């Protein structure tokens, strides 16, 4: 475990392996531990860096709204601090939003990106309303919010089959502070449409969606990669592909890296 000081807060990251650099960015309510099964595989041929995003894991809160650009700028700080130039980014859900913001802000530092159960589309008005409701619930009882939210990220058929894994993910999620949860919800709610980034051919691009994803409708979100030269895969599971279809995800990410 390694820490950096960033704008007077503690920033947590890990670095494993040697070779081309891959940055792994976790999703909302997650932390860098979500990549524990995947890092050893990717690190066989790459240098793999995992980062706790703002307000998650052991990285502290920077403010009361963490925009995707705030997160991306923090990732850039890690890269610069480690003396790195061009990197590939793999982001799960919110981590994908951060990867896109990074590619948009720092194209010269971006070799490519993979969106794992993620999207370049902004929140719909309906989704923004859902996030506002979620913020109210979090303010009342954030632990109940977490315990209800995590199982719903999985395909219905996996909620019993993967109960042990869901319990562990919930345990990790409960380490997230109320401020960190709200700041992330506020940041995701106001994020920009970044489908234009998918049309930039200087990046290697991959999109992995879950056929039974309860968060991102597979049919709707597959349309974002049309005519973009983006490699596209659908896995027969939910929003948590890295847990529900670990071997399939590892296989796809190895080919990406």
Dump pLDDT digits (tens) for 71-114. Answer: 999 999 999 999 999 999 999 999 999 999 999 999 999 999 99
Whole-structure pTM value: 0.98
What was the pLDDT predicted at 257?
Answer: 84
pLDDT value of position 229: 95
Question: What are residue 6's phi and psi, to 5 degrees?
Answer: -135, 115
Domains, the chain: 2-256 (3.40.50.1820)
Six-digit token pair at 60? Answer: 């502290």
Residue 113 three-state SS: strand
170 near 120, Cβ under 8 Å?
no
List the 110-116 sheet strands across, edge first. Answer: 2-6, 9-16, 46-51, 20-25, 87-92, 110-116, 204-210, 231-235
User: How does pLDDT run along the chain (257 residues), one tens digit per residue?
Assistant: 799 999 999 999 999 999 999 999 999 999 999 999 999 999 999 999 999 999 999 999 999 999 999 999 999 999 999 999 999 999 999 999 999 999 999 999 999 999 999 999 999 999 999 999 999 999 999 999 999 999 999 999 999 999 999 999 999 999 999 999 999 999 999 999 999 999 999 999 999 999 999 999 999 999 999 999 999 999 999 999 999 999 999 999 999 98
Helix (H) or strand (E) holding 210: strand 204-210
What is the rounded distance in angstroms from the CA atom of residue 196 to the CA atom of residue 193? 8
């Amino acid at each position: 475990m390694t820490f950096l000081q960033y704008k007077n807060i503690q920033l947590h990251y890990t670095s494993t392996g040697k070779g081309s650099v891959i940055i792994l960015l976790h999703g909302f309510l997650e932390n860098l531990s979500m990549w524990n099964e995947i890092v050893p595989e990717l690190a066989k041929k790459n240098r793999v860096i995992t980062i706790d995003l703002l307000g998650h894991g052991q990285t502290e809160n920077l403010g009361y709204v963490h925009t995707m650009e705030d997160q991306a700028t923090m990732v850039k700080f890690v890269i610069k601090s480690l003396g790195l130039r061009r990197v590939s980014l793999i982001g799960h859900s919110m981590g994908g939003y951060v990867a896109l913001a990074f590619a948009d802000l720092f194209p010269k530092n971006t070799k490519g990106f993979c969106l794992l159960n993620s999207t370049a589309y902004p929140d719909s008005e309906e989704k923004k309303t859902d996030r506002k409701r979620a913020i109210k619930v979090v303010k009342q009882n954030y632990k109940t919010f977490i315990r209800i939210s995590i199982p719903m990220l999985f395909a219905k058929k996996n909620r019993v089959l993967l109960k042990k894994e869901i319990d562990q993910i919930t345990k990790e999620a409960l380490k997230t502070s109320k401020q960190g949860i709200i700041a992330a919800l506020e940041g995701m709610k106001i994020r920009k449409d970044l489908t234009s980034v998918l049309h930039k051919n200087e990046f290697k691009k991959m999109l992995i969606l879950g056929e039974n994803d309860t968060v991102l409708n597979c049919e709707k979100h597959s349309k974002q990669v049309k005519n973009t030269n983006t490699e596209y895969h659908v896995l027969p599971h939910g929003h948590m592909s890295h847990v529900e279809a670990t071997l399939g995800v590892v296989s796809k990410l190895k080919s990406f890296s």
